[in-house]
Chain A
């Protein structure tokens, strides 16, 4: 079945550590996105990538980094510079850019907790 796989589902980070969340899709989609969701809040865009080897900052990119070396993979690194990283992280993809109006597909999410 085609879809988006995020791992790990649950992750604990110590103060000062960098952690990387994995996102893999087998939908052959060009565009991929990372969102952050806090309890009772809407989704906020962290980074997005319209094509391999290219990515753009979203609304809350500070303290995060990404790479897009392969079409199917878009890992997100939460760095120690992110002061409040505890949240639910969602990866998503579209066939091409969101501007095309295509349906957006989401992974099952990753919970990150700072301990």
Chain B
């Protein structure tokens, strides 16, 4: 069964800290992986999309990496701010079924 796991479920850090969110997946035949941000009671906003042929993508203070061999992706957030507080979800598109499989998310709190 293809699964996506995000650990920890919640993370609290002081403002200004650099942090890493983790995402693991069970099937290395991954087509792409996306990271999303979700504010409470809102929809998802796509942050970064990494194709299977890529190793990382960057947008501003965000950097996402993809390691298919180890089944892992990380989202690095530099110089965190209170406005970064949200739930971050990753989703993998597996080549075998072409459906997005979502993790349960990591709830990030950045304390002023």
3 A-B pairs with least C-beta separation = A42-B102, A106-B43, A99-B98
Which chain B residues lie closer than 8 Å to A106 at the CB level? 36, 43-45
Which chain A residues lie closer than 8 Å to B34 at the CB level? 103-104
**A interface, CB within 8 angstroms of B:** 4, 6, 40-45, 58-59, 88, 90, 92, 97-99, 101, 103-109, 111
Contact A42 B105 (CB under 8 A): yes
Contact A98 B102 (CB under 8 A): no
Closest-by-CB residue of B relative to A43 is B102
A-B contact pairs, 25 of them (CB 8 A): A6-B43, A42-B102, A42-B104, A42-B105, A43-B44, A43-B91, A44-B102, A45-B99, A58-B99, A90-B43, A90-B44, A92-B44, A99-B98, A101-B31, A101-B32, A101-B49, A103-B46, A103-B49, A104-B46, A104-B100, A105-B46, A106-B36, A106-B43, A107-B43, A111-B41
Q: How long is the Cα–Cα vector from A55 to B109 in the complex, in angstroms?
A: 39
Contact A99 B43 (CB under 8 A): no
Contact B104 A97 (CB under 8 A): no
Query: A108 and B102 in contact (CB under 8 A), knowing A98-B93, A101-B32, A103-B49?
Result: no
**B interface, CB within 8 angstroms of A:** 4, 9, 31-32, 34, 36, 41-46, 49, 51, 89, 91, 93, 98-105
Q: How long is the Cα–Cα vector from A106 to B43 in the complex, in angstroms?
A: 6
Most B C-beta atoms less than 10 A away, residue of A4, A59, A106:
A106
Instruction: Report A8 CB to chain B, min CB distance, Å.
Output: 14
Which chain A residues lie closer than 8 Å to B49 at the CB level? 101, 103
Which chain B residues lie closer than 8 Å to A105 at the CB level? 46
Most B C-beta atoms less than 10 A away, residue of A4, A41, A59, A101:
A101
Contact B46 A41 (CB under 8 A): no
